[in-house]
């Protein structure tokens, strides 16, 4: 991890002002050690913040959608009746955080926005669809299957890149995509406990495909907005505000038209604990977004990807232990293929970045 941290954080300046005495070797060593520990503390802060936010978020997400609560007239099966409300609660808090962050940084909520809010609507729609599919799929597939399946996003990302931007990719990336697909297929099939689950798992996998497709469109459209209006003109907090402003309108309209609001309020009246589950999920979702921006700013996307990939592996272990999911050796083999390729991609990107900067990467 040290090369990544040093590369992302930058080395201590070595230029000495004209006429100033040079630092002694002991002072330089002390300065370098202090800089190292400062970077180490920042990394620990980012790592712990991301893990705490998203591990808690994932746990609460599965708890809400899979727990058998007290039945109500509108939800006789005792299951939480609306995945859309979970998305709404996350967006509600996220837009409050985004407004505060933009106000603090720019002194105005909308005054410095170069891109109109309508420019974010397509990715807000896809972001809402991906979040809804993610929650809804937990009714049909286990969280470990969902987590490994989400790791195959490289395939639709490539397809969206070709479709939206005319991008081209080397053969090695297609091979990596094929290996990830193979690993996901092995894990999904080997995690099924009985043949009677085939129908429900098929529906769950369809929802996961919808999630990945929408999620990849979201990132590609956001990149398109950055390109069109200038990356220097839109910071992550403005992007967060733009996406969530449209998303909150979309989710509110959906809840009103579907009549989910009365069902959810009735369910929460009979199960007060569900409200706190939603609040905790919303808080950890918002804090997770803030840690994402801070981590990428301080250490770059490679270190961030390592942390989040590690989080996915920990999430699978926690879900299996807490919710009793059985994972066979063959299924773990499929997961090993997926995460092995992901870490290989991280290493390849790191080496490419070092070569581009003119450095000699450590192998």
pLDDT per residue as tens digits for the range 201-216: 778 888 888 888 888 7
Residue 6 lies in a domain: no
Residue 231 lies in a domain: yes
For residue 171, the model assigns a pLDDT of 80
For residue 359, the model assigns a pLDDT of 57
Domain of 292 in residue numbering reads as 50-66+74-355
For residue 307, the model assigns a pLDDT of 78
Least Cα distance to 240 among 280, 279, 283, 292 occurs for 292
Question: Phi, psi (5° rounding) for residue 324?
Answer: 70, 30
Distance from C-alpha of 134 to C-alpha of 285, rounded to nearest angstrom? 14
For residue 255, the model assigns a pLDDT of 92
Least Cα distance to 119 among 262, 38, 233, 17 occurs for 233
Residue 346 lies in a domain: yes
DSSP summary character for residue 72:
B
For residue 9, the model assigns a pLDDT of 39
Q: Determine the 3-state secondary structure of 40 from DSSP.
A: helix
Which tokens hold the place of 325? 């999911």
Question: How many domains does the chain fold into?
Answer: 1
Regions in the chain scoring below 70 on pLDDT: 1-32, 151-154, 164-165, 188-189, 191-200, 301-302, 305, 358-363
Distance from C-alpha of 284 to C-alpha of 173, rounded to nearest angstrom? 33
Given the structure tokens 């999430």, which residue do they identify? 315
Question: Of all helices (H) and strands (E), which one includes residue 94?
Answer: helix 83-106
Residue 32 lies in a domain: no
End-to-end alpha carbon distance in the chain: 12
């Amino acid at each position: 991890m040290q090369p990544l941290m040093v590369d992302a954080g930058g080395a201590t300046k070595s230029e000495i002002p004209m006429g100033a005495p040079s630092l002694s070797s002991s002072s330089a060593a002390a300065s370098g050690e202090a800089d190292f520990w400062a970077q180490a503390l920042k990394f620990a802060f980012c790592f712990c913040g991301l893990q705490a936010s998203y591990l808690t978020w994932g746990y609460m997400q599965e708890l809400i959608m899979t727990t058998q609560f007290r039945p109500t007239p509108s939800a006789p099966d005792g299951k939480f009746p609306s995945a859309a409300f979970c998305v709404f609660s996350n967006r509600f808090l996220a837009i409050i955080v985004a407004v505060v962050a933009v106000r603090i940084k720019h002194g105005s909520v909308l005054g410095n926005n170069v891109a109109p809010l309508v420019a974010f609507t397509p990715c807000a729609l896809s972001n809402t669809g991906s979040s809804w599919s993610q929650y809804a799929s937990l009714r049909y597939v286990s969280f470990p299957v969902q987590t490994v399946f989400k790791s195959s996003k490289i395939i639709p990302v490539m397809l969206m890149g070709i479709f939206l931007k005319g991008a081209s990719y080397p053969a090695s990336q297609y091979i990596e995509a094929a290996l990830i697909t193979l690993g996901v297929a092995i894990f999904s099939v080997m995690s099924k406990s009985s043949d009677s689950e085939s129908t429900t798992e098929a529906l769950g996998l369809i929802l996961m495909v919808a999630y990945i497709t929408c999620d990849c469109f979201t990132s590609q459209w956001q990149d398109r907005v950055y390109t069109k209006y200038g990356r220097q003109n839109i910071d992550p907090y403005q992007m967060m505000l733009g996406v969530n402003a449209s998303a909150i309108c979309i989710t509110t309209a959906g809840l009103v038209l579907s009549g989910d609001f009365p069902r959810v309020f009735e369910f929460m009246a009979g199960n007060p604990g569900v409200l706190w589950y939603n609040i905790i999920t919303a808080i950890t979702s918002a804090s997770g977004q803030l840690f994402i921006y801070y981590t990428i700013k301080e250490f770059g996307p490679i270190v961030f990807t390592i942390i989040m990939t590690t989080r996915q592996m920990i999430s699978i272990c926690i879900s299996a232990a807490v919710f009793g999911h059985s994972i066979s050796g063959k299924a773990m083999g499929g997961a090993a293929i997926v995460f092995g390729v992901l870490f290989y991609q991280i290493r390849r990107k790191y080496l490419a970045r070092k070569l581009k900067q003119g450095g000699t990467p450590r192998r």
